[in-house]
Amino acid sequence: MIERAPHSMPKETGWIEVIAGCMFSGKTEELIRRLRRAKIAKQNVKIFKPKIDTRYSNSDIVSHSEQSLPSILIEDINEVLEYSKDAEVIGIDEAQFFSPDIVSVCNRLANEGKRVIVAGLDQDYRGVPFEPMPQLLAIAEYITKTLAICVECGNPADKTQRKTASSERVIVGASDIYEARCRKCHYIPKDN
């Protein structure tokens, strides 16, 4: 992964960082790493995730490698504004599950001088851009694309392969339902 987060922090302004990639690419791990460093620097950090993602734990953000940080579960992205009044750094995980309002919320927080770090799936299981990630990528100052390793061939992978035939866009699950695949090995399951 190429590090594209700011090395020296901008001063007297906020900004937006987006960490985008497929499942098993280490997005949440990278989000946790950045938020931990901010906490060590005694910055006021607030972390949010959508209520839909109840894997592993109810109120922590947890990566597949089981690193975790306590987070606030929200249904509506606008709740972040209420909870973040005194926050300096705001982390949002699983951004693809929030409404398009996330774009104006992140812009508003950054305009207020806060550092906003957003992680999410940039494509759905068919390889179609997963809104609102494209819009977030467009407004971010710093973008990191995390790649996984293709389970079939070992190439760098940026697609999430669904192993079941369901055509629902969102099915919450982990390695029981999904695996990382490269462009060559990824396919859309039949019935779609």
Which residues in this chain contact Zn ion in the complex, by CB under 5 A?
A: 150, 152-153, 155, 182, 185
Cα of 94 vs its chain's centroid, Å: 4
CA dihedral of 30, 25, 6, 88, whole degrees rounded to 10: -40
Alpha helices in the chain (DSSP H): 27-40, 79-83, 101-111, 133-139
**Min. distance of Cβ 176 from Zn ion in angstroms?**
20
| CA 105 to each of CA 81, 83, 89, 97: distance values in angstroms, whole numbers, following the listed order | 7, 12, 14, 14
Cα–Cα distance for residue pair 132/20, rounded to 1 Å: 11
6 vs 154, beta carbon nearer Zn ion: 154
10 vs 156, beta carbon nearer Zn ion: 156
170 vs 185, beta carbon nearer Zn ion: 185
**Min. distance of Cβ 160 from Zn ion in angstroms?**
13
Q: Tell me which DSSP letter residue 42 carries.
A: T
**Min. distance of Cβ 159 from Zn ion in angstroms?**
9
Quickly tell me which residue has 């070992």 as its tokens.
Answer: 154
**Min. distance of Cβ 106 from Zn ion in angstroms?**
33
19 vs 150, beta carbon nearer Zn ion: 150
Cα–Cα distance for residue pair 135/171, rounded to 1 Å: 22
Is 79 one of the catalytic residues?
Answer: no
> 30, 79, 88, 94: which one is catalytic?
94
Helix (H, G, I), strand (E, B) or coil at 93: coil
Active-site annotation, residues:
94
